[in-house]
Amino acid sequence: MAKIILTGGGTAGHVIPHFALLPYFQKDNIDLIYIGSKNGIENKLVREKSIPYISISSGKLRRYFDIKNFTDPFRIVAGFFQSLFHLAKHRPDLVFSKGGFVSVPVIAAAWVLRIPVIAHESDMTPGLANKLATPLSKKILTTFEETLAYLPKNKSVFTGSPVRQSLKTGDKHIGYAFTKLNLHKPIIMVMGGSLGAQKINRILREALPLLLEDFQVIHLCGSGNLDLTLEDKEGYVQYEYIGKELPHLFAITDFMVSRAGSNAINEFAFLQLPSLLIPLSKSASRGDQILNANAFASKGYAQVLFEERLTVSTFVQEVRGFYENLDHYRIHLSTAKESSGTENVYSEIVSALKKEV
């Protein structure tokens, strides 16, 4: 039986694409183990899938001053030796990484032990973790075709992003019954992502009196961000997190308002859901979401509202204008080749396994 170590974490976008591949792994009876951080979101998400989970010490490599810059290198070194131990113990045939800083010591340990690594880059330009991983990896897979320009030609492949096929199994009747929304007004789903939701949450809630004149709102606000004063607001429902019901909520949604994390926007494309994207600004990120959002906008899949322009007034104006042009975005989304790369990614994994097993 083939055995694969999965790794990646820090945000949900570095974890959830693994889940899109689970049916393929299970069908081929591939043994899986996940290596992630002790406190990252991957710990909770992976354990919910009943995948064996190993936690290691991890640290972040920052381009700015932070007191943790003095301690995190030691955490990374500790994570490397922990990864060496676990990889030597389990002897996987392959390591598959979705990025994030926890993946760096795992990939380095795999390289030392001559275990092949396949890494997947979600964003338009490689993040620091995948830049470090590139010389140690057998192959780098990309979500965007444009990303190939930043990677070695002999080991990079455009595959698209692994997307959960189950998202297309939603039932509108279940969605309406679950949310208690009605059929007569269009529905917006608003997501802030696992990071960076606070400003979107605040602007949305301040804009509700105007928005609810024309729309209904499903608000995924993030852990600890419920506003109990809005619990009985007609046309508005809020959830910290949605699990198995998510496909049903997507089924009744007319369009998305969201950050521009690569995993999320590729899921929207897969579902042919137009999206109004509010990427994290460069002051809060390395600018990857801006590049992702601009790429989708240039292809007619989405519209971009930059955070620097985000006010209650501009938000309401952009939402109303975007809704009037939904058909334009739906036409472009119907031909989106970025929509799902699940089979492409799995094919690359299987090809690498055949050379090792």
- What 3-state class would DSSP assign to 25? helix
Whole-number pLDDT of residue 65: 53
Q: What's at 192, amino acid-wise?
A: G
Confidence bin at 229 (pLDDT 50/70/90)? very high
Residues 6+ positions from 223 with CB-CB distance below 8 Å:
240, 241
Looking at the predicted structure, is the pLDDT value of residue 70 above 80? Answer: no
Q: Which of 131, 169, 171 is nearest to 150 (CA)?
A: 131
Q: What is the mean pLDDT of residues 24-29?
A: 96
User: DSSP alpha helices (H): ranges in the chain?
Assistant: 16-27, 41-48, 72-90, 103-112, 128-133, 172-179, 198-211, 246-251, 262-270, 288-298, 312-324, 326-333, 342-356
Which CATH number, 3.30.70.2860, 1.10.3720.10, 1.10.10.10, 3.40.50.2000, labels domain 166-333?
Answer: 3.40.50.2000
Residues 6+ positions from 35 with CB-CB distance below 8 Å:
5, 6, 7, 53, 54, 55, 56, 83, 86, 102, 106
Whole-number pLDDT of residue 58: 84
User: Which three-class secondary structure string do you get for 164-219?
Assistant: CHHHHHCCHHHHHHHHCCCCCCCEEEEECCCCCCHHHHHHHHHHHHHHCCCCEEEE
Domains 3-162+341-356 and 166-333 share a fold: yes
> Do the beta carbons of residue 10 and residue 100 sit within 8 Å?
yes
Rounded to whole angstroms, the Cα distance separating 290 from 279 reads 5
Burial of 242 (0-12, 13-18, 19+ CB in 10 A): middle
- Number of residues in the chain: 357
Q: Which of 203, 7, 190, 201 is nearest to 108 (CA)?
A: 7
Q: Which of 352, 355, 301, 357 is nearest to 159 (CA)?
A: 352
Looking at the predicted structure, is the pLDDT value of residue 191 above 80? Answer: yes
Whole-number pLDDT of residue 193: 62
Write down the pTM of the prediction: 0.86
Proportion of the chain above pLDDT 90, given as a percent: 76
Rounded to whole angstroms, the Cα distance separating 323 from 255 reads 8
Q: Measured at the alpha carbon of residue 157, what is the angle toward residues 269 and 92, in degrees to the nearest 5?
A: 100
Whole-number pLDDT of residue 13: 83
Looking at the predicted structure, is the pLDDT value of residue 188 above 80? Answer: yes
Structural domain boundaries in the chain: 3-162+341-356, 166-333
Looking at the predicted structure, is the pLDDT value of residue 192 above 90? Answer: no
Model confidence pLDDT, tens digit, residues 243-270: 899 999 999 999 999 999 898 999 999 9
> Domain spanning 3-162+341-356: which superfamily?
Glycogen Phosphorylase B; (3.40.50.2000)
> Do the beta carbons of residue 258 and residue 193 sit within 8 Å?
yes
